[in-house]
Each structure stands twice: as C-alpha cells, then as structure tokens.
Structure 1
Amino acid sequence: MGMSLGGDDDAPMSNINTTPLVDVMLVLLIIFLITVPVVVETVPVKLPDTRYEPTRTQPEDVALSVRGNSDNTCEVYWNLTRVNAQELSNRAVAKLKAEIDRQGGPNTPGLVLPEVHIRGDVDTPYRCIGGVIYTMQEAGFAKVGFISEPQPGPASADENQ
C-alpha cells in the first residue's frame, strides 16, 4: 500500500497502487500455467485408416442383419431367418460348439474360431446393434465385425496411381 509522508495534504495523490493488479496477474499466470499443458497434451493414439477393405468371409462365419422398426422393436436375421434374442443366443452357442468340435475340440492347436459379421441398417437404434454384439460375445464369439457400404471411388490410395 502506498503511503504519503509529508507534503501538502490537499494535493491529490498521483501514485497508483499496483499491488492488486500484480496479484490478479500472478493468479491468472498460475491458472494459465496449470491449464495450458492439460489442454495441449493428448494421449497418443493412432487412428485407423478409413479405406474400404473387402470382407474375407469364411463358410463358418455368422452373417447377421439388424434393423429397427417404427414401433421401436428390433429385428435380427441369421442369414435370412428372423430370430428373437433367445433363438440368437441358442444358435450362436450351438454354432460355436459345432465349429470347435469339427476342428477337434477346445484344446486343438491352431483353433480358428468363426467371426460374426453384422449388417446394421443406418436407421437402426444403437441398442439393437449393441444387444446383438453382447449376445454374440456372451455366446463365446471373440471377433465381431461390421459390414458397411464402401464410399464411392477407389478402395485405397494405391489404386489412384
């Protein structure tokens, strides 16, 4: 705080008290020093390329189609047969068990498990797709993939050359 010693008491004081300004600036400086590294630093993640890769379908893979109805229900099709949640679970367990037995049992070296390929309608609610994923993983399928329509144009950058 500034203090005037001596002099004329009636004269206005021309010194500005800068202590509150310096205090505020120091607080802002500390806040910016703390928050800027949090905003700038990110976790390094390599995102996948978004190019079309043809699906390599094996005969033992499971093809599912999922779509939502206007009455807020979900339709699930195993190939072309409509199934409900219990039938989906039963078929998935039976399919996986049959495939494991066909290859020689669960302890067979080089056991190749089938994959699940899901085709989801663009207007299908997430809960329908999520329910199918959960059911198939609960049945024992480890690989669940999505079939999508490729964007128009070349499939990869290599085809442009």
Structure 2
Amino acid sequence: MAISTGSDSDEVLSEINITPMVDVMLVLLVVFIITAPLMTNAINVNLPDTETTVQIQEPKKPIVLSINAEGKIYLDKDEYSLEIIQQELESRKAADPELRLNLNADEAVNYGTVAKVMVLIEKAGIDRLSVVTETGG
C-alpha cells in the first residue's frame, strides 16, 4: 500500500512503518512470558512402595594427601616422610586400582615440596588426582 505525503508532487512514499509490528511483537512476548509457567506439567504423583533391588555402589571416598605449612606430609591422618610416600601410594594403588586421591596443600608450603609430591604421585601410577582449593571472596 502506498502512502501519499500530501504535498503537491505525485510522489509515493514507499517506507514501511515498523512501529505497529514492534508493538504486536512486544504484546506477544508478554503473553508468552505470562503463559509459559502455566504450561509446565508438574503433576504430583504418590509413588508406590516396592521391594529393594540391587543397589548401585557409590564410588569409594578418595584418599586425602595433605601437606601442612611446615611441609609435613599426611596420608589420610597418618604422617609419612617424603622418602616413603611413593611406596605407600604404590601399595594402596595395588590394593585398589580405581584409587582416587585428593591433594590438600597449605598455601604457605614451599612450591617445590608440592611439586615433588606430585611427581611421586605420578610415579606411583595414580592418575585420578584432585587438587583441592578453597573458594573465597
């Protein structure tokens, strides 16, 4: 549809006014926002009781290797020296091939100590290692 500008020339203005289209789209958006929560199918169901079946085994808790600020190494809560920690990790890995290890190192400990321990963990064949940190603000 052509719109006349009302001037003396017989030129036709061929621009599309998109304001009504934007208004319609905004109204549709508001309608969808209001009706979307009503369209969820949250049905409360009272489930029946049954007999227990095979339980899924939870993964074992990881072993915690901690290094305190003085550089002392603890495996769970037992203290070990740097020289024998690899043998202890190897024996635990042999007993449990799926061994997981959490490494907790104090932020004040020397980086070299942590690096040496990580190399010993790798030499012991442990490939499931988590380095535990603390998130703060």
TM-score (norm: length of structure 2):
0.52
SS at 1:86 equivalent: coil
Give, in angstroms, the shift of residue 86 of structure 1: 2.8
The residue aligned with 1:6 is none
Give, in angstroms, the shift of residue 98 of structure 1: 0.6
The residue aligned with 2:89 is 92
Give, in angstroms, the shift of residue 150 of structure 1: 2.1
Instruction: Output the CA distance in 2 between the equivalents of 1:144 and 1:130.
Output: 13
The residue aligned with 1:65 is 66
Letter of the 1:83 counterpart: Y
Unaligned runs of 5+ in 2: 1-57
TM alignment of 1:9-158, pairs within 5 A: 58-59=59-60, 61-69=62-70, 74-100=71-97, 113-152=98-137
Instruction: Output the CA distance in 2 between the equivalents of 1:60 and 1:87.
Output: 23
Q: How many residue pairs align between the two structures?
A: 80
Give, in angstroms, the shift of residue 60 of structure 1: 5.0
TM-score (norm: length of structure 1):
0.45
Percent identity between the two aligned chains: 12
Letter of the 2:62 counterpart: D
Instruction: Output the CA distance in 1 between the equivalents of 2:85 and 2:65.
Output: 10
Kept after mapping to 2: 8 A contact 1:67/1:128: no
The one of the two structures with greater contact order (alpha-carbon pairs below 8 A, sep at least 6) is 1
4+ aligned runs moved over 6 Å, structure 1? none
Instruction: Output the CA distance in 2 between the equivalents of 1:148 and 1:79.
Output: 17
